Chains A and B, each alone.
Chain A
Amino acid sequence: MADTMELRDIEVWDGNMAASHALRQVQVDVVAAYPITPSTPIVENYAGFTANGYVDGEFVMTESEHGAMSCCIGAAAAGGRVATATSSQGFALMVETLYSASGMRLPIVLNVVNRAIGAPLNVNGDHSDMYMGRDSGWIQLDSYCPQNAYDLNFIAFKVSEDHDVRLPAMVHQDGFMTSHTAQGVHTLTDEAAFNFVGVYQPMNDMLDLDHPVTHGVQTEEDWHFEHKARQQHALMTAVLPKIQAAFDDFEKLTGRKYNLVEAYDMEDAEVAVVCMGTSVETAREVAEEMRAQGIKAGVVGIRVFRPWPLEQIAAVLKDVKAIAALDRSSPHGTVGALYNEISGTLFNTDTKAVLTNYIYGLGGRDLTKAHLVSIFTDLKANADAGKVTTPLQQYIGLRGPKLSFF
């Protein structure tokens, strides 16, 4: 039986510490990991908790991230609660196995501390790794601050392990900007946290020897399409209602309210930025300041990146005149991914909104409040003109000559 830990109501934790305590509190059976900056402290702290008797589970050091996720897949198939963490190049090395985890319908929670992908090598935060995971069949939840990194882990386990879902989930947080930034985090007691997620209920577990099952099968043209369709069906129909239900339960327990799409100052907004991660909170502060200057500014934060809550996002953006999609990842050859998602979301609606794209913050480059003021100012001009008055895609925060496309 694991020891419990007494926590203060508010602990000053960075995002990594918050995530590692969440993993401890849900008593993961197997954490298999290969540490990489900036996610290292999650598994390092967790290994410490395990060694000191605070976790009744196994910590496995593997030879690579590919091995770490492979080990997680084996443990999840065997019938255990499983989690790990990674970033950047490590995430990239995991990619092959990510598709196996989702295709085998295994509930695994992966904390992704978002970091740039080289070359050039860079340890700082951007969303390149998060974007790389978006077709992998995983649920992707996004944190804006250490409190979110803590809370969303509980949501991830609860939804992922639900027998109607049985899909792995990533909890994202911004490298350094969340992972190494200490802020006040409201805690749950060990008991309340564990009870929120509950005792793990295995399904089709390999170690249930009375009910033999096969994992990791091969299907060719005969059945592959049907398996993939079934996976997509679960992701598209089961997941969002389960996330909403988990958010509702979590609000009852903690008073903290999460939404499938986070809309701030959007009721009467004329201009809005859509973004992810810590940028959402900085943008909220700037939107308030723009309102004081008479610009009706709002912010839409993507909380659930996959499955994409298309209808809910269309609803919050329907009356806006000008929208900026902010992408913290190099799109390499096209418009940013969020720009594409928002375009696709609004295309068949009645919106007349003007949509533009900003690429920002690559490799940890600071997104300052001054940058956001200039974006909102561009948006106001677009809203007043009723058309795009700037290039469609602009780089913001880049040194040297301005760069823009389309």
Chain B
Amino acid sequence: MLEIRWHSRAGQGAVTGAKGLADVVSTTGKHVQAFAFYGSAKRGAAMTAYNRVDDKVVMNHEKFMRPDYVLVIDPALVYVADITANEKDNTIYIVTTHMSTDELIASQPKLEGRKVYTVDCIKIAQETIGKAIPNTPMLGALMKVSGMYDIEFFKESMVKVLKKLPQKIIDANMIAIQRAYDEVK
């Protein structure tokens, strides 16, 4: 069982990202689950989304999770959300930030001693898609860090997931995914 927790603000696309990832993983024969904590959340409110991936049908419906990966797609949530909650010894963090990994850890000592990767998904999304929607670039970074799938296979799969969007937006998303894959450190 592979478990992923997303930290996002409502409107940044964590749910779409989690569902998109589930869609891609499902095509490879694995079983998936994607869900989020809702409430009467308003756009901009801190929220979490989740993925589970397994070789057998996922029957666990508890919301409690000890994640293998924590994906933070809003830079400020590192300081205001409990991103290390229920972590394991080997939980891997991928954080959207304009800072280097060392600078980030210095600014948030909770991350000291953790496996932390950084990538500026916000900037990548603004420069490619034209909007600060950091969900698809984060998936590119996840592919690099986790080695889950070959990046070309992943991009081809994401084209199918995004097929309802205009071609221009799909192309921009593919560049964003590739850039995050190349730039995550």
Using CB atoms and an 8 Å cutoff, list the residues of chain A in contact with chain B. 10, 12, 38, 123-124, 145, 174, 176-178, 180-184, 278-279, 281-282, 284-285, 366-370
8 Å CB contact of B34 from A145, A178, A181: A181
Q: Contact at A182–B59, with CB atoms within 8 Å?
A: no
Interface residue ranges of B35-63 to A (CB < 8 Å): 35-36, 38-40, 57-63
Q: CB-defined interface of B1-41 with A at 8 Å, one 1/0 digit per residue?
A: 00000000000000000110011001000011111101110
8 Å CB contact of A184 from B31, B61, B62, B63: B31
8 Å CB contact of A12 from B23, B59, B61: B23
Interface centre among B18, B19, B26, B36 (most CB of A within 10 A): B26
Chain B residues, Cβ within 8 Å of A178: 61
Q: CB-defined interface of B158-175 with A at 8 Å, one 1/0 digit per residue?
A: 000000000000000000
A133, B64: Cα distance in complex, Å: 30
Q: Contact at A366–B40, with CB atoms within 8 Å?
A: no
Q: Contact at A184–B32, with CB atoms within 8 Å?
A: yes
Instruction: Kindly report which residue of chain A lies nearest to residue B33, judged by CB atoms.
Output: A183
A285, B63: Cα distance in complex, Å: 14
Interface residue ranges of B91-115 to A (CB < 8 Å): none
Tell me how far the C-beta of A197 lies from the nearest C-beta in chain B, rounded to whole angstroms.
26
Using CB atoms and an 8 Å cutoff, list the residues of chain B in contact with chain A. 18-19, 22-23, 26, 31-36, 38-40, 57-64
Chain A residues, Cβ within 8 Å of B26: 10, 12, 184
- With A12-B19, A12-B22 as contacts: A285 and B59 at CB distance below 8 Å: yes
Chain B residues, Cβ within 8 Å of A181: 33-35, 61
- With A176-B35, A181-B34, A184-B31 as contacts: A278 and B19 at CB distance below 8 Å: no
Instruction: Kindly report which residue of chain B lies nearest to residue A123, judged by CB atoms.
Output: B40
A366, B64: Cα distance in complex, Å: 7
Q: Contact at A369–B35, with CB atoms within 8 Å?
A: no
Tell me how far the C-beta of A229 lies from the nearest C-beta in chain B, rounded to whole angstroms.
40
Chain B residues, Cβ within 8 Å of A38: 38
Chain A residues, Cβ within 8 Å of B18: 182
Chain B residues, Cβ within 8 Å of A182: 18-19, 22, 32-35
- With A12-B19, A123-B40 as contacts: A278 and B35 at CB distance below 8 Å: no
Chain A residues, Cβ within 8 Å of B39: 123-124
Q: Contact at B36–A281, with CB atoms within 8 Å?
A: no
A104, B183: Cα distance in complex, Å: 66
A-B interface, 3 closest residue pairs, ranked by CB to CB distance from nearest: A278-B61, A281-B59, A181-B35
Q: Contact at B38–A176, with CB atoms within 8 Å?
A: yes
8 Å CB contact of B60 from A174, A176, A281: A281
Interface centre among A178, A181, A368, A370 (most CB of B within 10 A): A181
Question: Knowing that A145-B61, A183-B31, A366-B64 are A-B contacts, what are 6 other residue pairs whose CB atoms are under 8 Å apart, sorted by A's residue number?
Answer: A124-B39, A181-B34, A182-B33, A184-B31, A279-B61, A370-B64
Tell me how far the C-beta of B27 lies from the nearest C-beta in chain A, rounded to whole angstroms.
8
Chain A residues, Cβ within 8 Å of B22: 12, 182-183
Q: Contact at B59–A180, with CB atoms within 8 Å?
A: no
8 Å CB contact of A281 from B19, B32, B40, B61: B61
Q: Contact at B34–A368, with CB atoms within 8 Å?
A: no
A278, B60: Cα distance in complex, Å: 8
Q: Contact at B38–A368, with CB atoms within 8 Å?
A: no
Chain B residues, Cβ within 8 Å of A282: 59-62
A282, B64: Cα distance in complex, Å: 12
Chain A residues, Cβ within 8 Å of B63: 366, 368
A366, B86: Cα distance in complex, Å: 15
A180, B62: Cα distance in complex, Å: 14
17 A-B pairs whose Cβ atoms sit less than 8 Å apart in the complex: A10-B26, A12-B26, A12-B32, A12-B34, A123-B39, A145-B59, A178-B61, A181-B35, A182-B32, A182-B34, A184-B26, A281-B61, A282-B59, A282-B61, A366-B63, A369-B60, A369-B64
Instruction: Kindly report which residue of chain B lies nearest to residue A182, judged by CB atoms.
Output: B34
Tell me how far the C-beta of A88 lies from the nearest C-beta in chain B, rounded to whole angstroms.
13
A183, B50: Cα distance in complex, Å: 12
Tell me how far the C-beta of A299 lies from the nearest C-beta in chain B, rounded to whole angstroms.
10
8 Å CB contact of B38 from A180, A278, A281: A180
A178, B61: Cα distance in complex, Å: 9
A199, B74: Cα distance in complex, Å: 51
A284, B59: Cα distance in complex, Å: 8
A180, B16: Cα distance in complex, Å: 12
Tell me how far the C-beta of B145 lies from the nearest C-beta in chain A, rounded to whole angstroms.
23
Tell me how far the C-beta of A118 lies from the nearest C-beta in chain B, rounded to whole angstroms.
12
Interface centre among B34, B58, B59 (most CB of A within 10 A): B59
Q: Contact at B36–A183, with CB atoms within 8 Å?
A: no
Tell me how far the C-beta of A127 lies from the nearest C-beta in chain B, rounded to whole angstroms.
14
Chain B residues, Cβ within 8 Å of A180: 35-36, 38
